[in-house]
Amino acid sequence: PGRTQFKVVIKALSPKEVTRIYTPRPLDRNDGTFLMRYRMYGSVTKGLKIEILYGDQHVAQSPYILKEPVYHEYCDCPVEDPDVWQDMMSCPSHEPQITKDFISFPTIDLQRMLKEIPAKFSQTGGAIVHYTILDNHIYRRSLGKYTDFKMFSDEMFLSLARKVRLPDVEFYLNVGDWPVEHRKVNDTPGPVPVISWCGSVDSRDIILPTYDVTHSTLETLRGVTNDLLSIQGNTG
Q: What is the pLDDT along the chain (236 residues), one digit of tens a residue?
A: 545 678 899 999 999 998 999 998 888 888 888 888 889 999 999 999 999 998 889 989 999 999 989 999 999 999 999 999 999 889 998 889 888 889 999 889 999 999 999 988 877 678 999 999 999 999 999 998 899 999 999 999 999 999 999 999 999 999 998 999 999 989 988 999 999 999 999 999 999 888 888 888 888 777 766 677 777 777 65
Nearest to 229 by CA among 41, 59, 1, 34: 34
- 205/194 Cα distance (integer angstroms): 5
- pTM of the entire predicted model: 0.84
Domain boundaries, the chain: 7-75, 93-217
Q: Facing residues of 211 across strands?
A: none
**Under 8 Å between Cβ of 133 and 166:** yes
140 with 132: CB under 8 angstroms?
yes
Domain topology for 7-75: Immunoglobulin-like (2.60.40)
Task: Please state the length of the chain.
Answer: 236
Amino acid at 41: Y
Whether the Cβ atoms of residue 128 and residue 117 lie closer than 8 Å to each other = yes
Alpha carbons within 13 angstroms on the beta-carbon side of residue 127 total 19
Beta-sheet strands, E only, within 26-116: 27-28, 34-35, 39-40, 47-54, 57-58, 64-67
- Cα 87 to Cα 82: distance, rounded to the nearest angstrom: 9
* b/e per residue 111-129 (b: at least 16 CB within 10 A): eebeeebbeebbeeebbbb
Of 182, 204, 208, the residue nearest 193 (C-alpha): 204
